[in-house]
Amino acid sequence: MKKEPQKKSPSYVDESQAEYSYDCLDCSASLLLNECYPKEARKSGGLLFRCFKCYIKHRNYLQNIDEKNQKVRDEQAEALKKKVKEKAAATTSKKSAAATGKSAAATSKKATSKKATTSKKTTTSKKATTSKKVAAKRTRASNKVAAKRTRSTTASPAKPSSSTSTTGFEYAHALWDKILCEYTGFDGTYPAEIYSRTKGSYNVYFLQDHTFETNVPESKLKLPPPGAKWGELRRRGLLGQTFEADGSTYDIVSLGKGDKKHHYLCRDSEGKEIYKTVGSVQNICGEFGWSLGGD
């Protein structure tokens, strides 16, 4: 497999020290120093090491926990936004109710004023009536001037604002795109698939050994070589297809969820359902010829 570390003692360890035996923290396998992981801990002289297989399992376990914690944080942020919106809506509703109350009071005041004016008309003298007619004439003239000003104002509507705002992040790669990606602790790049994106970075699933890394920057990704068959295949594109493996024939039923998100749910000819890793199924259906690990 491409990711197999070289069986060679590091330059900072003498040959006698390289022959010391260490126990894997999880499976208790006996290890030489250059078989111990993480590699960074070899220099410290510590005794808590894992074999490569247990190290990958432990790292995937920690990354799964990190993903779940991130999901909780995102949900809490969304709940806070919703609460702020509801509070703003309540404030707007109160202001609207207050404005309605003021309008009702103003209408009542006008009705009262009109009633008083009517009563006054029946008791005033001819002189008062003449004076009121003059006042009404002046009012009509004033209203005509105001109406003319209003028409002048509405004839030239305000220009709309041309400013725009943008939110979110821009991504060069889409979800489920196949890419070549660097793998922490190893040289080179390896076939992988983008299964989610967050805050400008990518979460990547490695097809050849069923491992993954989160928060990968775009600088660590590049496009597959032109004409690479594995680069054209998409997860959902295999749903409903049939393949043969381990002496049985399987139908690809659906994509896995949760802890099985990097698996296909498959059903054999006898109706028995089993989960198969995305990398192994795509390797068989696409005839890529990979030597896989971590199934």
| pLDDT of res. 68 | 86
Handedness of CA 40, 42, 46, 47 (dihedral sign): positive
pLDDT digits (tens, 9 = 90+) for 232-275: 889 999 999 999 998 999 999 999 999 999 999 999 999 999 99
- Say what the pTM is: 0.50
- Domain residue limits, the chain: 15-58, 178-231, 236-286
Question: Position of tokens 């309008």?
Answer: 103
pLDDT tens digit sequence for 49-90: 899 999 999 889 888 888 888 888 888 988 998 989 898 888
Using alpha carbons, select from 190, 196, 221, 227 the residue that is nearest to residue 208.
Answer: 190
- Please state which architecture CATH assigns to domain 178-231: Roll (2.30)
Percent residues over pLDDT 70 in the chain: 74
User: What is the DSSP annotation of 113-165?
Assistant: HHHHHHHHHHHS-HHHHHHHHHHHHHHHHHHHHHHHHHHHHHTSPPPPP----
pLDDT recorded at residue 116: 62
Both tokens of 11, joined, read: 């330059």
**Residues in the chain, pLDDT under 50:** 1-2, 5-16, 152-167
